Structure 1
């Protein structure tokens, strides 16, 4: 497992159970949300004790912006979606993590948010790997 390799950083257990590691960026670990209803990835800044974007240093804030934009562009290219949703809510999992979700009109829950809609539908293992590889290639 990739989590916990940065000094003092431990991934929240809920993020660990709901997502699968994809790759390291600069500041963040990129993880795939294990819900096949939406192409959805999560960036987790590898900084201990951080809950809010404004808790990051200015340099880390700039890195998060750069990495999230890079990932959003890659997700849009790899899925052909019509809209990218992004956000850092933290109401359930306080550890700072940044969602990037590919959306299309008519998808499950459109036009509402993905959070709290229905029951998560985990990927089949080979489908998860296929999706992860498409994002990796687009990056």
Structure 2
């Protein structure tokens, strides 16, 4: 069976890159620099579902994304979380947070209606990230 992105992630996100293990997604909500890593492993629901080699690769990619977000966005806090309560497919959120953002200090989920990126915002973001 081939890997397929969960329909919810496909609907709510913009695919930015495909790294050796993970797809790099951007949540289509311009209120927050909100990225998601999705290991391209069919049936994976938890990090422990990955092989040891895949887990090592995942943590390397998570570190790479985290460092990129810290450099590009210089947030006050970087939230990294794998919840999966609504979307069971393994995916890990990487969210650059600021003390002045729209949801601070609460979690970003469901606080405000998403504000999709404009084409110009998306182009600028892709350029800044070099993805």
Q: State the TM-score, normalized to the length of structure 2.
A: 0.94
C-alpha deviations, 1:70-103, integer Å up to 9, x for none? 1011011111212111111100011111110111
Structure 2: 5+ residue stretches without partners: none
Quote the residue 1:128 is aligned against.
122
Is 1:109 aligned to 2:103, yes or no?
A: yes
Aligned to 1:23, the other structure's residue is in SS state strand
Aligned length: 131
Quote the residue 1:8 is aligned against.
2
Quote the residue 1:48 is aligned against.
42
Matches within 5 A, 1:1-139: 8-136=2-130
Q: Which 4+ stretches in 1 moved above 3 angstroms?
A: none
Could you tell me how far apart the structure 2 residues matched to 1:12 and 1:100 are? 18
Structure 1: 5+ residue stretches without partners: 1-6
Aligned to 1:42, the other structure's residue is in SS state strand
Asked if structure 2 preserves the Cα contact closer than 8 Å seen for 1:32 and 1:132, the reply is: no
Aligned to 2:78, the other structure's residue is in SS state strand
Could you tell me how far apart the structure 1 residues matched to 2:78 and 2:130 are? 17
Aligned to 2:80, the other structure's residue is in SS state strand
Pairwise CA RMSD of aligned residues?
1.2
Aligned to 1:120, the other structure's residue is in SS state coil
Could you tell me how far apart the structure 1 residues matched to 2:33 and 2:11 are? 17
